[in-house]
Amino acid sequence: MWEKVSRAPKFETIDFTVATPSPTPRASRLPSTPSKYGMFMTKAEINEMTATPGWMKNEVLTWLQSHGHSCSARKRLHQFQGYPAYAQDDLTTFIQQTAIPTFSIAKKIGPFNGNEPQPESTLDVQYLGAVGGGNTNWYWTEQGWMFEFAQDLMNAGESGTPDIISMSYGWDEEDQCQISPSAPPCAGGGVAGSKAFVTRVNSEFAKVGLNGITLAASSGDSGAHGRTDPMCQNPVTSPAYPAASPNVLAVGATQFSAASIKTGGSSPFCKSNTCKMGGDEIVCSTKTGALIVSGGGFSNVASTPSYQSSQVSAYISGSGVPAAGDFNATGRGYPDVAALGHAYYIQLNGEAMAVDGTSCSAPVFSGVLGLLAAKKGGKLGHVAPLLYKIYEADNSAFNDVTQGDNFCTESSCDCTTGFKATKGWDATTGLGTPNFPKLAAGMAKVLNL
């Protein structure tokens, strides 16, 4: 899924429940406009295996209990292009089935239609609220695209903006003006217009960060080639936006390797389903049984920011990248981080569904950010530089993902170019997935808290 902006609650009692669909038939993707990554969804095989990342729940609980945590960050789910909403009945059932603390949406902004719940909105609300329990959650529907969104944020004022925003939307960096042709930067049209659009929005996002607001964005669901080249006809990779912006935190996706999966769980859902409680993480890919492929690559507009320059330099000097000319070696590399993105249980229209997507991982990581903001006692702003500093001080703050690649798209694995997972940062899962206790301790050390 790739569609919304959400705020993240706490991690305290989250039961990350993920369902593993059978390999056949392939799940049908959500109908999507060009701007949505979209998620894959199936309901036929929900009982075959479900997953609850208990390793994350347990490590966060231990930290919370030993540090007397009190969470207070404001988080927001953001939908674009007037995308439909979620149903309260589904949210109530999800909370009951996963045995997480009750949470609600404190504020709704923009169009809202709860009578036609959609998977993207439903996933975002259910998991953003589950992971960052105790924080305040908003739901914002933007009628326009990234330029209008940035303008609205800057005009909303302190009381009208959240601390953390999760966006599960995106499209090819060089085709942004297909989505927002009337935006002033797109006056020139074509690729040049899209470049001007991206440059302007990057500038606006920088202002958003300076105002203390954290922007998290899904890295995309169709690998290094994206949805504009689903059959990999062009060896040149296609960066996605806004994930390729240096002023957002881009979140990729992982899955558990089949041989390593641990099962268990005590929630009502896990008592009637086989729930995954953890395992060894690999890059999320259709090649390894997932329904999406973690997006990643390098911007053709923004240069490599200083906060990631040493990690990117090390990566492109290795064997994990395509041939020169098939990607921009001087561009901003993404994703920055990752989280589980395969087989999440959601409750939709009264039924249990299994979904895949960086639309799963982005709101989950936004929940982690909500906890870090609470630990800090204030806003994080543009958080990527801080996370790279934490990594440089103690790389065990992230679980390094070293297996897999993002050559495939959702439609094809006949691709000869893409990016490989390696030791350290890479353009499939970034720095890795969060090791929360060490991440929190690392932040305290770096910021002298």
Collapse the DSSP code of 232 into the 3-class scheme (helix H, G, I; strand E, B; otherwise coil) and give the result.
coil
**Average pLDDT, rounded, for the chain:** 80
Residue 355, annotated as binding a ligand = no
- Please state, in angstroms and rounded to a whole number, the distance separating the CA atoms of residues 181 and 268: 48
Domains of the chain in start order, with CATH, are 5-447 (3.40.50.200)
Whether residue 152 lies in the annotated active site:
no
Residue 401, annotated as binding a ligand = yes
- Please state, in angstroms and rounded to a whole number, the distance separating the CA atoms of residues 446 and 389: 7
Q: What is the pLDDT of residue 176?
A: 94
Radius of gyration of the chain (CA): 19
Residue 201, annotated as binding a ligand = no
- Please state, in angstroms and rounded to a whole number, the distance separating the CA atoms of residues 57 and 300: 38
pLDDT tens, residue by residue, 130-141: 776 666 777 777
Of the listed 359, 361, 366, 411, which one is catalytic? 359
Whether residue 306 lies in the annotated active site:
no
pLDDT tens, residue by residue, 38-86: 444 443 344 445 544 333 444 443 444 344 444 444 444 444 444 557 8
Structure tokens belonging to residue 219? 């890295």
Q: How confident is the model at residue 225 (pLDDT cuts 50, 70, 90)?
A: very high
Strand partners, 18: 51
Averaged pLDDT, 256-264: 89
Q: CB of 77 within 8 A of CB of 128?
A: yes
Residue with tokens 């923004």: 302
Q: What is the pLDDT of residue 110?
A: 67
Residue 280, annotated as binding a ligand = no
- Please state, in angstroms and rounded to a whole number, the distance separating the CA atoms of residues 80 and 184: 18
Q: CB of 152 within 8 A of CB of 142?
A: yes
Higher pLDDT, 338 or 37: 338
The predicted model scores a pTM of: 0.85
Of the listed 3, 12, 90, 120, which one is catalytic? 120
Whether residue 124 lies in the annotated active site:
yes
Residues 10-39 as b or e (16 or more Cβ within 10 Å = b): bbbbbbbbbbbbeeeeebebbebeebbbbb
Compute the residue count for the chain. Answer: 449
Of the listed 124, 173, 174, 356, which one is catalytic? 124
